[in-house]
Amino acid sequence: MSNPSLLILAGDGIGPEVMAEVKKIIAWYGDKRALKFDVSEDLVGGCAYDVHGKPLADETMAKAQEVDAVLLGAVGGPQYDNLDFSVKPERGLLRLRKEMDLYANLRPAQCFDALADFSSLKKDVVAGLDIMIVRELTSGVYFGEPRGIFTEGNERVGINTQRYTESEIARVARSAFELARKRGNKVCSMEKANVMESGVLWREVVQKVHDEEYPDVQLSHMYADAGAMQLTRWPKQFDVIVTDNLFGDLLSDLAAMLTGSLGMLPSASLGAPMANGRPKALYEPVHGSAPDIAGQGKANPIACILSFAMALRYSFDQGTEADRLEKAVEKVLADGLRTADLMGPEGGSPVSTSAMGDAVIAALDASL
């Protein structure tokens, strides 16, 4: 039986630095847990443009379609700002999501006890927070037609179209309900059914999927603007939130800051099952390429490490090992280790990117 396959696309900026720590952890699992992966590496984003003249080579796209999971670092940088829109680094990531049909974006917002003071909210509001936002990723206003900037009379008009089919809504709703069954068994669906016809359809389809397939899961509906307010008022009222592409983009970034640092947050983008039963999947930290600190050893690798933990859980059926890795991260934070982004006003000496990765491996060793 062959090993599960993993394609690493480290990308730009701090991407290669944080990915180097994940590669050490992948090697640890092979050595200490007999959990081996067939790992290949390639380029995406600006570094791919530098080599191929485009942010994702066709050969790389073909590899991504064949492997069990893709692990991505980050893309982009100021040196690419003036490129044509069609070849900007971010287009490589969007192509991966679109052509792999990764329709369910899972973005957890978890607040480790050791970092509860880093949130802008009061500690009792965020301590122990563990919610999951499921964002529809391949449709909605970001992809709907017509779109563009047109001239009407004497002025220009920008047009974007919010468009959803019943099947697009139903499949991401199923992803949310399946996740909820493994968590707190509670889903809140968020839209703007009070002012948008697409929101009306969204609410109707989510309710239908619930009633016919998941009646055991508690379902509630909320307008997305009210949801944003409730996330900052008392976020622990939620378990799984399912929402569309635009609102998911906004709400997941809001939820990210409840935890204190974007450097802590992983994500998974999942699609339909492949022949082996595993979903097509791409895992990446929520943070960007942070070119201002690239190459300085200041980057926080935890979001990328936790993205690999999500891969263990959702692509490789290794929930116990995912728990082991997440607990190792929690122990390191509880022991007081911090990268620069996690330094409080009291000061101190932050550890480097590689030192944080080494500490996580030491905690993994201690778990055996």
User: Out of 23, 98, 208, 225, which one is annotated catalytic?
Assistant: 225
Amino acid at the residue 334 = A
User: Out of 23, 98, 130, 253, which one is annotated catalytic?
Assistant: 253
User: Out of 12, 42, 68, 192, which one is annotated catalytic?
Assistant: 192
CB 254 within 8 A of CB 232: yes
- The DSSP symbol for 13 reads T
CB 290 within 8 A of CB 14: yes
User: Which residue is associated with the tokens 């090697």?
Assistant: 27
Of the CA atoms within 13 Å of residue 332, those in its CB half-sphere come to: 27
- Name which of 262, 336, 274 is nearest 302 in CA terms: 262
Q: Is 142 a catalytic residue?
A: yes
CB 341 within 8 A of CB 265: no
Strands 218-223 and 186-191: parallel
- Name which of 172, 248, 174, 255 is nearest 217 in CA terms: 174
Backbone angles phi, psi at 210, to 5 degrees: -60, -50
Q: Is 249 a catalytic residue?
A: yes
Cα distances (angstroms) measured from residue 359 to each of 25, 188, 262: 11, 37, 20
Tokens standing for residue 145: 């037609």
Residue 319: left (phi > 0), alpha (psi -120 to 50), or beta?
alpha
Cis previous bond, 266, omega within 30: no
User: Out of 214, 249, 280, 341, which one is annotated catalytic?
Assistant: 249
Q: Is 84 a catalytic residue?
A: no
Classified as helix, coil or strand, 189 is: strand
| Rounded CA separation 166/171 (Å) | 9
Q: Is 68 a catalytic residue?
A: no
User: Out of 23, 36, 63, 142, which one is annotated catalytic?
Assistant: 142
User: Annotated catalytic sites, by residue?
Assistant: 142, 192, 225, 249, 253
